[in-house]
Amino acid sequence: MPKMISKPLLLTYFYLFIYILLSSGVILYNKWVLSPKYFNFPLPITLTMIHMGFSGLVAFLLVRVFKVVAPVKMTFEIYATCVIPISAFFASSLWFGNTAYLHISVAFIQMLKALMPVATFIMAVLCGTDKPRCDVFTNMLLVSVGVVISSYGEIHFNVVGTVYQVTGIFAEALRLVLTQVLLQKKGLTLNPITSLYYIAPCSFVFLFVPWLLLEKSAIEYSQFQFNFWIFFSNALCALALNFSIFLVIGRTGAVTIRVAGVLKDWILIALSTVIFPESIITRLNIIGYAIALCGVVMYNYIKVKDVRASQLPSESIPERISKDWKMEKKSSDIFIPGGTVSASDDVDEETPLTQSTRLSHIGRTQAGNYAA
């Protein structure tokens, strides 16, 4: 293999490895922190607020103090009509997704996340950004059947945890669709740093209300341990995941990221059963998830094919990726923060925004991983 080709390829694989490592690590770390059986800090809203506060602070320093990137021209009208509603659903998806980790296993949550393309497609149709299609509907039906089979085979099935997770998935799907509709309509472009700069503080404020009602008294009257280094390292890993996504989308295409996402899900399911022995996977779990995964892969193929068909015929895929990357460097493309970094991890929708194809799977991951 020529040297000039092998070095960039190895660097791409390295970035993918870092992304998979951080994405899986953040989810497992969050589960460990939240679980009453381990670190015993069963306060998901508080943990998510720590992530949002830390991310917002770092973004503020990078934008206002160190001037790494310049802030966008944000008007009050754009902030009120775009940033606030997107932040509200972002905060909701993280809240519900992280709460699910108190009731159900990491492995089962990853299986439920296969519903993400179903939720995104439904929300896109309802919001008028996509049209009902027979081929996509068939894939969505296959995914749903697989998830139902997987749920039926879950030994420790918990209705409350399942409802929290599914609700978080639909909240994340609506956030993604709103991001496409609202930000694209306003012509607003955000990179990972500026997106956190505007959205993280707003999400923190939205989470403050449920925290005040649900967790404030628990902190005051319960003896929960607070280890600074545990929470600092946890928030740092979540932030690192956010930036690793930025590196990955600049060097890979949609197919590569989607394959990496599928690989990460299987690795995470396997690791969770080793790290958390109480997490048991049955044969029916595997069969159901495999069926759902077939639907997800077919859906990804259709969406990638649609995007390629919409590109200029004179441009090859590598040329198109190179062009997108140059555009991103020049104008700061939209980056959709998702997963806290929910425990995370994870959207399979397509938007016409630059590089959104490559963000589609990662959006789902993030929502599930970033602050989970």
Note the pLDDT of residue 366: 45
Q: In this predicted structure, what is the pLDDT of residue 313?
A: 55
Question: What would the mean pLDDT of 24-44 be, rounded to a whole number?
Answer: 94
Contacts of 91 (CB under 8 A, 6+ apart): 48, 52, 203, 204, 206, 207
CA distances, 328 to each of 70, 184, 189, 195, 251 (Å): 14, 15, 9, 14, 12
Question: Is 70 exceeded by the pLDDT of residue 236?
Answer: yes
The percent of residues in the chain predicted with pLDDT above 90, rounded, is: 52
pLDDT tens, 1-22?
444 557 878 888 888 899 999 9
For the cut 80, the answer to whether the pLDDT of residue 159 exceeds it is: yes
Predicted pLDDT at 255: 65
Residue 87 pLDDT class (50, 70, 90 cuts): very high
First to last CA, the chain: 41
Provide mean pLDDT across the span 81-90. 94
Sorted by where each begins, the domain ranges of the chain are 1-41+225-276, 54-104+158-223
Return the higher-pLDDT residue of 319 and 45: 45
User: What pLDDT does residue 343 have?
Assistant: 39
Going by pLDDT thresholds of 50, 70 and 90, the confidence category of residue 341 is very low
**What is the CB neighbour count within 10 angstroms for residue 275?**
13
| Res. 254: pLDDT tops 80 | no
* pTM of this structure: 0.81
Quickly count: other Cβ atoms within 10 Å of residue 311's Cβ.
13
- 6-10, 94-98, 121-125, 195-199: the lowest-pLDDT one: 6-10
Q: Which residue would you say has higher pLDDT here, 145 or 253?
A: 145
Report whether pLDDT(331) > 70: no
CA–CA separation, 149 and 114 (whole Å)? 12
pLDDT at 94 over 50: yes
Among 72-81, 151-160, 360-369, which is the least confidently predicted range? Answer: 360-369
- Euclidean distance between CA atoms 355 and 192, whole angstroms: 13
Q: Tell me: pLDDT of 326 over 70.
A: no
Q: Is the pLDDT of residue 170 over 50?
A: yes
Task: Give Cβ neighbours of residue 260 (< 8 Å, ≥ 6 apart).
Answer: 16, 19, 20, 248, 252, 361
Task: Between 352 and 81, name the one with better pLDDT.
Answer: 81
Q: What angle do CA 325, 323, 361 make, to 5 degrees?
A: 50
Contact 94, 370 (CB under 8 A): yes
